[in-house]
Amino acid sequence: MEENISENRHATSKVVHSSEISKVPLEQFDAPLNENPQDCEISSKSLRDTTSSSHLKEKPYACNVCNKAFCWRNVLKTHLRIHKKEKPYVCKVCSQAFTQNGSLKIHLRIHTKEKPYVCEVCSQAFTQSGSLKSHLLNHSKEKPYACEICNKRFYRRSKLTEHLRVHTKEKPYSCDLCSKAFTQRGHLKSHFLTHSKEKHYVCNICGKAFTMIYHLKRHFLLIHTKEKPFVCEVCNNTFARSGDLKSHLLAHSKEKPYI
């Protein structure tokens, strides 16, 4: 088995599926992961070699559930936790669990108030590099991803993908209990909690409990951090909730939707 995997690191003629590597002991995959899982495990010397470009294109380890492929075997093993619903990394403060250690480290910044990513334009700080990148688009006004159907533009490709489901009527996320379907995974998660009135998500500062993590996060932002991450592109006014920003934007457009 180990010989087959080693052989396929340097050949793309055969793909190692997750169904094959699932028989390998878990301990072999629990080496610390890089913060950037896209990095391939080859030396810097070989990276400089011209032949390394072909190596970087190799993704010999494929998930047998969704067929997504990876260049690292241990990254595939981590990916499989999504399908198995495994979340071995648990926050000691609020008990929220994650599939990757890196995700837990990022989450912990909520509790430590650490915001290492700072905007050079306005000095606003963020816990994640992706949040900073999205914020920088507010300054550039750039929305590079356009819908081919209605021409609405978006900062991120993922938002365009979600938006396209408005046109296609696609609802890929279904509730196992009542079969209600949703366009976004987050909406399904929120809906699923309506079947249970248990309040699993507890604020570690004031002890208030919530049925949905979205409500806990909103509570944390509004009450304890006073953070206002939603910025008006017209007047730079800031808001704690996206809904408040949308209502505010109507003032600029002079729309009166409730007549």
| Mean pLDDT, range 218-241, rounded to an integer | 80
What is the band of 128 on the pLDDT scale with cuts at 50, 70, 90? confident
Contact assessment for residue 204 and residue 111, using Cβ atoms and an 8 Å cutoff:
yes
Quick one: what percent of the chain has pLDDT higher than 90? Answer: 3
The distance from CA 147 to its chain's CA centroid, rounded to whole angstroms, is 22
Q: Which CATH architecture has domain 59-112?
A: 2-Layer Sandwich (3.30)
Q: Does position 114 have pLDDT exceeding 80, yes or no?
A: yes
Domain ranges of the chain: 59-112
Rounded Cα gap, residues 76 and 33, in angstroms: 11
Q: Does position 184 have pLDDT exceeding 70, yes or no?
A: yes
CB atoms within 10 A of CB 156: 15
The pLDDT of residue 147: 92
Closest Cα to residue 31, out of 72, 3, 59, 86?
Answer: 72
pLDDT greater at residue 129 or residue 226: 129
Task: Name the DSSP letter for residue 201.
Answer: E
| Mean pLDDT, range 163-191, rounded to an integer | 85
Closest Cα to residue 124, out of 110, 109, 139, 103?
Answer: 139
Place of tokens 């049925």: 211
The pLDDT of residue 72: 85
Rounded Cα gap, residues 95 and 112, in angstroms: 15
Adjacent-strand bridge partners of 145: 154
Contact assessment for residue 1 and residue 24, using Cβ atoms and an 8 Å cutoff:
yes
The pLDDT of residue 254: 66
What is the band of 150 on the pLDDT scale with cuts at 50, 70, 90? very high
CA angle 139, 143, 144 (to 5 degrees): 130
Q: Does position 156 have pLDDT exceeding 80, yes or no?
A: no
Condensed to tens digits (0 to 9), the pLDDT of residues 3-33 reads: 334 334 443 334 555 555 444 444 443 434 4
Rounded Cα gap, residues 243 and 119, in angstroms: 24
